[in-house]
Structure 1
Amino acid sequence: MKKIITRILIVSSFAFANQQLKAQKVVVNREVETTNDGKMLLGHQLKDQFVKEPYSEWYTKEFNEYALDQKAVGELKKNKINSYNLIVFIGTWCEDSHRDFPRLMKILEEVNYPDSKLTIIAVNRKKESPTGDEVRYNVQKVPTIIVEKYGKEIGRIIEMPTTGYVERDLVEILKKDDQSVIKELFKKEN
């Protein structure tokens, strides 16, 4: 009887420990100190991290100086960008991220994009994050901006926008989504 109770306690302890591990929250706003790059953000971030030193040096300047393409911003509103989720992979050490991430944030501010639909993940020079999200999303370069709807990837911008403007590339992604939804509807009817 004593052995059975002991086994039950051991199994219960393992089950409880396993449950605790699964319930662990993702660390947000992690900052690390590196030998070559100094301070670097790593993992899930909130947008307010970028207005703090040393990131504000590049973030604030690009955010303030970027002139939005208002026509494209209007299209984003019309195409309901706020109904999509955005997953953004950046490197705080990366010049392309220094350019396009603040621009994206300015665009999102302009369209009143909800923070709850935005995921920002900072990676190291090997394009790795503590949670391994870069593997799940197959991220090879930064910045990578992924547009999702209902958990399905609609499109992505990799390293730099093909049109030269983040907002124009986002419009193109949303337009493709509208067409793909219509195609899916017709496929199901046939």
Structure 2
Amino acid sequence: MKKILLAAATATILSSCGTQKEAAQSTEEATTVAVVEMETEMGEEIEEETEIEPVISTVIDGHLRGLHNKDAFMEAPYSTWFVPEYESYTPDATVVNDLKTAMNGVEVRAFMGTWCGDSKRETPKFFKLMDQVGFDADNINLIAVDRSKQEPVALVDGFDVKRVPTFIFYRDGEELGRFVEYPRETLEKDIFKIVSGADYKHSYED
């Protein structure tokens, strides 16, 4: 038997696009307290209190937060930067064709911030590329984060995201590699190297 009680608390966080860029402050109501009662195998009831955070898709201080898809960027004010970048980007047709096979069985976890210039540049290109490849959008989990890149905790924790955008590619649950902030060559060539198993280091790896 489970009973969940929700309560909000305010957390103030310091944030930035990358570790060497100017930080700014933001607030978010996010903490959830859960009181859970459960029966043990011996038939006894135990009660334990845990902090959990709901999975959210919302807007805070004018910025997207949580899980979103391409449709969110087609609405104002995000469309003012998303649509021009999407329409002006023309990926290499040969690499697009190669990716149609190389992306088989791949899942993507993409972290970005609508407050971040690098994310505004690369995220529209990423979606344009995936559209041309014919990649199933259901295999893309896009998480919009705060400036600290630590919220929402339930979606960010454990992924070691230090800069955005960060696009992480998986096959059979194993990380193949990640694209971080800007390409070594071009977005499509970098992604092809990652998913094809070629030697690749992202822009902040030595």
After TM superposition, the score normalised by the length of structure 1 is: 0.75
Aligned twin of 2:197: 176
Q: Does 1:49 align with 2:72?
A: yes
Equivalenced residues, count:
159
Which sections of structure 1, spanning at least 5 residues, go unmatched? 1-7, 34-38, 179-190
Q: Determine helix, strand or coil for the equivalent of 2:94.
A: helix
Alpha-carbon displacement from aligned partner over 1:62-95 (angstroms, at most 9, x marks no partner): 000111111111110132x142000100010111
Per the TM alignment, residue 115 of structure 1 is displaced from its structure 2 partner at its CA by 1.6
**Paired AA for residue 76 in structure 2:** E
1:43/1:131 contact within 8 Å kept: no
1:90/1:143 contact within 8 Å kept: yes
In structure 2, distance between residues paired with 1:64 and 1:157: 21
Q: Does 1:122 align with 2:150?
A: no
Q: Determine helix, strand or coil for the equivalent of 1:42.
A: strand
How well do the aligned residues superpose, as a CA RMSD in angstroms? Answer: 2.9
| Structure in which a larger fraction of residues adopt strand | 2
Percent identity between the two aligned chains: 32
Larger radius of gyration: 1
Q: Does 1:75 align with 2:98?
A: yes
**Paired AA for residue 55 in structure 2:** V
Which sections of structure 2, spanning at least 5 residues, go unmatched? 4-35, 40-46, 200-206
Aligned twin of 1:32: 60
**Paired AA for residue 64 in structure 2:** L
Per the TM alignment, residue 114 of structure 1 is displaced from its structure 2 partner at its CA by 0.9
Q: Determine helix, strand or coil for the equivalent of 2:84.
A: helix
Per the TM alignment, residue 97 of structure 1 is displaced from its structure 2 partner at its CA by 0.5
Q: What is the 5 A alignment of 1:9-158?
A: 14-15=37-38, 26-28=55-57, 30-33=58-61, 39-79=62-102, 81-158=103-180
2:96/2:188 contact within 8 Å kept: yes
- 4+ aligned runs moved over 6 Å, structure 1: none
| Among 145, 149, 162, the residue aligned to 2:184 | 162
| Structure in which a larger fraction of residues adopt helix | 1
- Which piece of structure 1 moves more, 149-158 or 125-134? 125-134
After TM superposition, the score normalised by the length of structure 2 is: 0.69
